[in-house]
Structure formats: C-alpha cells, structure tokens
Amino acid sequence: MPQDPDITPAAHAGAAPSAARGDGKPGLAVVLSRAAAGLHAPLVSVEVHLANGLPGLSIVGLPEAAVRESKDRVRAALQNAGFQFPPRRITINLAPADLPKEGGRFDLPIAVGILAASGQLPRAALADVEFLGELALGAALRGVPALLPAALAAGRDGHRLVVPRENADEAALPGAAEILPAGHLLGVCAHLLGRERITPHHYRPGPVDPADGLDLAEVRGQHRARRALEIAAAGSHSLLLIGPPGTGKTMLASRLPGLLPPMSHAEALEAAAVASISGTPFQPGRWGVRPFRAPHHTASGVALVGGGTTPRPGEISLAHHGVLFLDELPEFDRRVLEVLREPLESGRITISRAARQAEFPARFQLVAAMNPCPCGYLGDPSGRCRCSAEQVLRYRARLSGPLLDRIDMHVEVPPLPAEALTAADPRAETSAAVRERVCAARKRQQARSDRPNAILDERAIDRHCRPDAAGRALLAQATARLGLSARAHRRVLKLARTIADLDGAEALSVTHLTEAIGYRQMDRTR
C-alpha cells in the first residue's frame, strides 16, 4: 500500500532500539487501554512479552472471542503496514486477569505493544497515553462502541487518549481528556516517534432545539390534558392518558420533551454515556436533547429494563433524563410492566447474571396511554361501544394496583367535536411559552430541595408539602372515598406542591389539592 514518506516502516524499524529497550526489560512493553463494564471503563494494562522459542502469539486475561481473534487482525495489519512481525514467542496479558475483555477495542494497544516490545517504537512515548481502536487488515482504524465512559475515565486519570477518527467527536464530548484521533496505524506510530504529531481534537456541539421541532401549539383543544402535561413537566411527574383512538394522546406525549428544562452538563453526560454503551451508533449531534423512547407493546422485559449475557441498558435507561412513552399500556405483558415498579421509585436498575452484575441509571419520566375499554370507544357520544362492564373491568385489570399507584396523574383525553379540529384555538400556547413557566417552577424546586418534586423523599414531603387545616380535611376525605394508598396519598401532596410552584405560591391551598386529587382518575374506577 502507498506509504507516507515521513512515516515509512523503515523509519520505525530504525528508531533508536537502544532507547526503546533502555527504559525497561528487553522484549517487554506495557500499553494502557480501557475495558467496557457497563457505565464504567476500568483501566487495562496490555502487557506484551517477546521470548525465545517457537513463533506464536497467545492472549491471556479473560479474553472473549473477539479479543482472541485480534491476534490475526493485528498480525495482518502490521505486515500490510510494512512493519516486521517479530518471529518470536509473543505473550499478551490483559491485566487485571479477572476482568472480562470483549470487542475489538484492544487491537490498537496490542499492535502498539508488539511494536514497542520489538524495538520498533520507543516505550518512553507510551507513558500517560491510552489506546483504543479496532484494526482493519490494512491497518486502518475502525470505531468501537462505548468510547464516552473511557474518555471520562482517562480524563480523571490525567491521560491522553488515542482513538479512531470515527470516534473523535464522541470521545471529545466531555472535554475531560486530550483526544488524539487517528485514521491509520501509521499515523499513530508517526505521533509516537515525534515525526508527525496528531492535533488534539475538540468538539463543541451546536445549539439544539429542546422541542425537537414539535410544538404544543399544534395540539387542538384538550386543554385539561395540556394543563396536565405542563404540571408533569414542572414536577417530573408520571402521567397516564386515557381516551379513545385518535384523540391526541401520542401527539401530547411526544411534545413533553419540548416542555422540559434544558439538560445540565452532568445530565447530558449521563444520558450520552448510556447511549454510548447501548450498542447503537452514537450521535454526538443529539448532545443535550432529552431522549424520547417509545418501545412497542410487544417489547420483552429484557428490552425494557436491560439484560443479556453481557448486561446492556434497556429502554428505561436509554430514556434516562428524558421521557419513556408506553402506548397501548394494557397491551404490554403484565410481567413486563411490573418490572417498572422499582425503577420508578429508585431511578436505577440492577441487572444480575450468573457471572456479572451491572447497574444502570433509569431516572426517566413515564408517560403512558391507553384506551378506556377493549374496543376503545367507551363513553363515545356515538354509542358505538358494545363492551360489557365485565370486559371493561377485565381490560383495566391488566394494570396492577401497585403500578397505577406509582403513576402520579391519570387524565382523560376525550374526543373533540369536528369544529374544534378545524377552528383556530386562541388558548393554544407554544411549547416555548409553557417551558418558561416550567423552568420557573423547577428553579423554585431546586432552590428549595435541590430536586424535582416527583422524587422528594419522606422528610422533604413533610417539610415542604404541608397543607393547611382545610387542605388536610379535604385530603383525608378524598383518601377515604377513593381508597387512596399511603403512596398515592404522598403523590397527591407532591403533585399539589408542583401546582403551587406553577402558581408561585409558598403554601398548599385547597385549590391546589383539589386539582391534584382530580388527576387521580383511575382511583375512581377501581
């Protein structure tokens, strides 16, 4: 293949072998890299030892199949790049030995280690530098997944990070480490030899549209549902929309991310790190955009919460700091829905397998939608619903009481008359106008308790959500009539606190509690 005249293999081969061997034992080199273990990126020392004996190459240190196969990729890449592959007994140890290693990310550090151990690269140049990347047979570098956690960890340790050019934007997002992107093994070697330095890469994401092009003003009518959506955004409350097909439930839910406050840098980093390890192509252009996930109702429990032999994040983690929308909620398998109960409370999910355990963040905002009955037209003015009371009860019984208890708001979305669909609505507000009120309410919550009202703990509820005497009497009456559980009782208080924040009020009044109780629609039908 054509070679750059400044970085020819001959230059590498003749590069001061005495210097390369003078900073450690001959035939031994150590290269730093990173493994992928959920949201963590443990440091891995790639130790390469060249010994006399029959030529061969072995990799130890719990390598999985893709890592074991790297010996063939590395051999071909070195030879095709014009380097000498040492005709010696080569042992590669990936330390620590008890940490599983997977993927092609260790190709580049293994290749660099072989070149350094054989004297073709100076070992002194490897200090405080980490390497990640998969090698093509022609020695070009290919991108690897889960780069963002590695970049964060390298920055914390004060190391520079050499990555494939394909991963440059992703690795540079945190701004924590010095990122050195390369497209070919020869470019990496030229940098280590000091012949052609790689320019550190910096990436500054452009401005983002919080609404992602979707505006609440496009929703016709449904003023009660719009009000519920604003309250849900202001306090990060979960929401269940109940109504016939075509009344705008999905349209409303898709506009919730545009009402939420802009993501903080820490929130954007957490959401991006989860996306980075998910196995899907990472999109740096989505930096700072709150995720909106809408899995199909045939999704399995593993798809929803995560899992697999090597634990991967599920939909609830991919929706971290964003919105998880479950359309046709009763059509989900009941066992699948029940796995949401713990993450809704804790904001985290722990995946345990025989050999591994991984914990992923799952602080998502749940929005769900369902029909009022199996045919979907219960209460329709046309009278076309023929579902019996028993069928309706059986349909709604697919949702367990403990799950409904954890959903703060249950709101009806009724069908609209034809004239409401065509006439201009003077009361329709844009997402930007609603977002201003939401941000003001969130600022009050952050100043008061440093968190949204939906995740207040018991002590904070007692301190900040205390109604007056009339409010306590009203709430006691509602609890008795609706049969509210202790959990639902506390959620009503937190919801009333959010309504008061939107009003700019310090105390909870009967008005705030009355509206909050009115959003417990499903408690009236159980």
Instruction: Give residue 25's pLDDT.
Output: 66
The distance from CA 504 to its chain's CA centroid, rounded to whole angstroms, is 33
Report the candidate in 443, 504, 448 with the shortest Cα–Cα distance to residue 264. Answer: 443
Residues 367, 370, 375: CA angle, nearest 5 degrees: 170
pLDDT tens-digit map of 139-149: 999 999 999 99
Provide DSSP, 496-512. HHHHHHHHT-SSB-HHH
In this model, does residue 13 exceed pLDDT 60?
no
Report the candidate in 161, 198, 186, 188 with the shortest Cα–Cα distance to residue 176. Answer: 161
> Per CATH, which fold does 456-526 belong to?
Helicase, Ruva Protein; domain 3 (1.10.8)
**Distance from C-alpha of 443 to C-alpha of 436, rounded to nearest angstrom:** 11
pLDDT tens-digit map of 177-199: 999 999 999 999 999 999 999 99
Domain with CATH 1.10.8 in the chain: 456-526
Burial 378-404 (b: 16+ CB within 10 A, else e): beeeeeebebeeeebeebbeebeeebb
In this model, does residue 12 exceed pLDDT 60?
no
Mean pLDDT of 13-39: 67
> Per CATH, which fold does 216-439 belong to?
Rossmann fold (3.40.50)
Q: pTM score, two decimals?
A: 0.87
Instruction: Give residue 288's pLDDT.
Output: 85
Tokens of 52: 């006399």
Domain with CATH 3.40.50.300 in the chain: 216-439
pLDDT tens-digit map of 310-366: 888 999 999 999 999 999 999 999 999 999 999 999 999 988 876 778 889 999 999
* Total residue length of the chain: 526
pLDDT tens-digit map of 391-439: 999 999 899 988 999 999 999 999 888 777 777 777 788 999 999 999 9
> Per CATH, which fold does 5-192 belong to?
Ribosomal Protein S5; domain 2 (3.30.230)
pLDDT tens-digit map of 243-296: 999 899 999 999 999 999 999 989 999 999 999 998 777 787 788 889 999 999
Instruction: Give residue 181's pLDDT.
Output: 97
pLDDT tens-digit map of 45-64: 999 999 998 999 999 999 99
Instruction: Give residue 454's pLDDT.
Output: 95
Residues pairing with 95 in the sheet: 45
Domain with CATH 3.30.230.10 in the chain: 5-192
